[in-house]
């Protein structure tokens, strides 16, 4: 191989290298990412989303940081409660990088730092609580851990949005005791509910009987009221009937008396029109005396005009003889 051939290879290699360097000088930053740029080993700038040109040998990308929220699940950590119960708790941390520069230069291995900080914080919080409070206060524990981690990671350019206790695993004997306690509690609640149900049932039965007695009493009362009203109306109707009967009888008697009086008056008028003589008057007096004698009176006063019955009878005969031709 001659010199010209070797020189050709060298020139081609240099051209390819320069072309590669030129192409690599153009960098595109994706959405929700930040590139940290160093100039000769020191921080220079942060590249945001878009197209950028990187000058080789002088500038370099120190780190590519995603600004998205991330979720990391840490393995279970042994913790001891205030009443000396050891249990395993694993946590889930939701965090987000807010400052790419501090994230790159603030701490070595940020996830390991967050894990260790989460474990120590969890031990401190659980150590101040008893087992029962630990099992029933997840929200309180989550809030405390989140607040402490968020303050501690600010200088690392990390924002801890939320921390959740994924699992709380007490020892097996504690779990067995809790299961027995829960079973006894469920049985107690069952008995309480059954007793309350029986109580309510008895109350409802008693209230139903009470309402039934009240309704029967009201029905009886209303029936008596209606019966009294009916009796009252019947008495009123009977009284009205008796009243009407008496009124009618009185009116009939008055009418009869009126008719008798009218007939008597008519007879007197006829007698007056007939111009009766002394003998006719004596005869009428005798008829009246006969009617009076038929009554219940124990004493009868006989007028002097009719004491001579023989003379009156003779006179009556003569009158009848005189009146006969007139008819």
pLDDT digits (tens, 9 = 90+) for 55-71: 888 888 888 999 999 99
**% of the chain exceeding 70 in pLDDT:** 81
> Domain limits of the chain?
3-66, 69-170, 194-275, 276-327
Model confidence at 302, pLDDT cuts 50, 70, 90, reads low
More reliable by pLDDT, 2 or 276: 2
User: Which pLDDT value is given to residue 305?
Assistant: 53
Handedness of CA 154, 158, 161, 163 (dihedral sign): negative
Count CA atoms within 13 Å of residue 31 on its CB side: 0
Flag whether pLDDT at 315 surpasses 60: no
Range scoring the smallest mean pLDDT among 50-54, 83-87, 175-179, 320-324? 320-324
Average pLDDT over the chain reads: 81
Question: Residue 157's closest CA among 113, 202, 102, 197?
Answer: 102
Model confidence at 96, pLDDT cuts 50, 70, 90, reads very high
Flag whether pLDDT at 307 surpasses 80: no
User: Which pLDDT value is given to residue 174?
Assistant: 77
User: Which pLDDT value is given to residue 325?
Assistant: 47
Flag whether pLDDT at 241 surpasses 80: yes
- Mean pLDDT over 283-302 rounds to 55
More reliable by pLDDT, 158 or 286: 158
User: Which pLDDT value is given to residue 282?
Assistant: 61
Question: What is the rounded distance in angstroms from the CA atom of residue 123 to the CA atom of residue 112?
Answer: 17
Model confidence at 275, pLDDT cuts 50, 70, 90, reads low
69-170: in CATH 3.40.50.2300: no
Model confidence at 303, pLDDT cuts 50, 70, 90, reads low
Question: What is the rounded distance in angstroms from the CA atom of residue 46 to the CA atom of residue 143?
Answer: 33
Strand partners, 28: 51
Question: What is the rounded distance in angstroms from the CA atom of residue 271 to the CA atom of residue 282?
Answer: 13
> Angle 138-152/110-126 helices, nearest 10 degrees?
140
| pTM greater than 0.75 | no
Which residue intervals of 127-171 are DSSP H helices?
A: 131-136, 138-152
Range scoring the smallest mean pLDDT among 8-12, 99-103, 138-142, 183-187? 8-12
Question: What is the rounded distance in angstroms from the CA atom of residue 26 to the CA atom of residue 116?
Answer: 39
Beta pairing class for 69-73 and 42-47? unpaired
């Amino acid at each position: 191989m001659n010199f010209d051939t070797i020189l050709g290879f060298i020139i081609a290699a240099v051209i390819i290298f320069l072309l590669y360097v030129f192409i690599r000088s153009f960098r595109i930053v994706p959405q929700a990412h930040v590139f940290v740029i160093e100039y000769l080993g020191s921080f220079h700038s942060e590249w945001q989303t878009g197209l950028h040109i990187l000058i080789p040998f002088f500038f370099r990308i120190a780190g590519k940081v995603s600004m998205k929220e991330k979720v990391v699940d840490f393995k279970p950590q042994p913790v001891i409660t205030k009443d000396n119960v050891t249990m395993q708790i694993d946590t889930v941390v939701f965090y987000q990088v807010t400052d790419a520069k501090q994230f790159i230069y603030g701490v070595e291995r940020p996830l390991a730092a967050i894990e260790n900080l989460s474990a120590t914080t969890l031990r401190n919080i659980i150590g101040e609580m008893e087992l029962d409070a630990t099992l029933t206060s997840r929200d309180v524990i989550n809030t405390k851990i989140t607040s402490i981690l968020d303050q501690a990671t600010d200088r690392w350019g990390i924002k801890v949005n939320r921390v959740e206790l994924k699992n709380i695993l007490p020892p097996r004997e504690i779990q067995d005791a809790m299961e027995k306690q829960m079973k006894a509690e469920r049985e107690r609640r069952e008995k309480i509910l059954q007793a309350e149900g029986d109580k309510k049932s008895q109350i409802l039965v008693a209230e139903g009987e009470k309402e039934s007695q009240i309704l029967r009493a009201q029905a009886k009362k209303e029936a008596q009221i209606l019966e009294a009203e009916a009796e009252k109306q019947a008495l009123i109707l009977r009284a009205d009937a008796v009243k009407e009967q008496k009124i009618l009888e009185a009116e009939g008697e008055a009418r009869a008396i009126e008719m008798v009086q009218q007939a008597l008056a008519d007879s007197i008028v006829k007698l007056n029109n007939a111009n009766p003589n002394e003998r006719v008057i004596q005869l009428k007096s005798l008829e009246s005396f006969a009617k009076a004698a038929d009554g219940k009176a124990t004493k009868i006063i006989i007028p002097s005009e009719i004491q001579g019955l023989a003379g009156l009878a003779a006179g009556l005969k003569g009158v009848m003889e005189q009146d006969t031709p007139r008819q």
